[in-house]
Every structure is written in structure tokens, then in C-alpha cells.
Amino acid sequence: MVKLDAGNVLLKPSHRRQVMAWLKRPLRLGEKLGDFGLMVSMSRTGRTYDVRADVRDAKGSFIYHTRQRDWRNALRDLARNVSVRLHDQWLAR
């Protein structure tokens, strides 16, 4: 299950679809691990975007946080790093 909380960041529906496309690989890896949940929360403070992901699965849970100037770069970075962590958990099972 994925939940995207945009907070005070205005995302168009096309941007939401783009974010969900970036999260496809972490979703598939999480479903393989079982009991998967991903909560992505975004907030804008000044010129920076804070993006936080709370990930839980059968192997454990972890939090990823990034702060960047562009929301696209922040979410791409988040998707990439969550994917790497889930892949490491998949290999360690």
C-alpha cells in the first residue's frame, strides 16, 4: 500500500501519476517481501522541499528523508534509495 501526502505542495494529477510511476519498482519489491506499506509525505519550507518516506515490510521498517530544491529531484532520489534498500532486504532474506 502506498500513501502520498503532498502536504503544502501543490501537485497536479499528472505529477501524481509521474510519482506513482517512479515508485513502481519499490512497490513490486515490497510486495515480494510481504506486509508492505509506504507512506510518502512532502512539505515545502521556503525554497526547499522536504520529502520523507516511512517504509515497513515483513523484514522491518526504515525511514528515508531528503531535502532538495526541486520536488522532482527529491522524489526521484527517494524512489531510487527506497528501491535500493528494499532490494538489499530482498537479498538478505
Tell me the domain boundaries of the chain.
2-92
3-state secondary structure of 43: strand
Query: Would you state the pLDDT for residue 1?
Result: 85
Looking at residues 53-73, what average pLDDT do you find? Answer: 95
- Report the alpha-carbon distance of residue 54 to residue 62 in Å, rounded: 6
User: Looking at domain 2-92, does it have CATH number 3.30.160.100?
Assistant: yes
What's the pTM?
0.89
| Host H or E run for residue 31 | helix 24-33
Query: Per the structure block, which three cell numbers stand in for 27?
Result: 512497490
H helices of 7-70, where? 13-22, 24-33
- The pLDDT confidence band at residue 47, using thresholds 50, 70 and 90, is very high
Looking at residues 43-55, what average pLDDT do you find? Answer: 95
- In a 10 Å sphere around its CB, with 0-12 CB exposed, 13-18 middle and 19+ buried, how is residue 50 labelled? middle
- Report the alpha-carbon distance of residue 2 to residue 27 in Å, rounded: 8
pLDDT surpasses 90 at 85: yes
pLDDT, mean over the chain: 94
Cβ atoms 37, 55 nearer than 8 A: yes
Query: Would you state the pLDDT for residue 32?
Result: 92
Query: Would you state the pLDDT for residue 56?
Result: 95
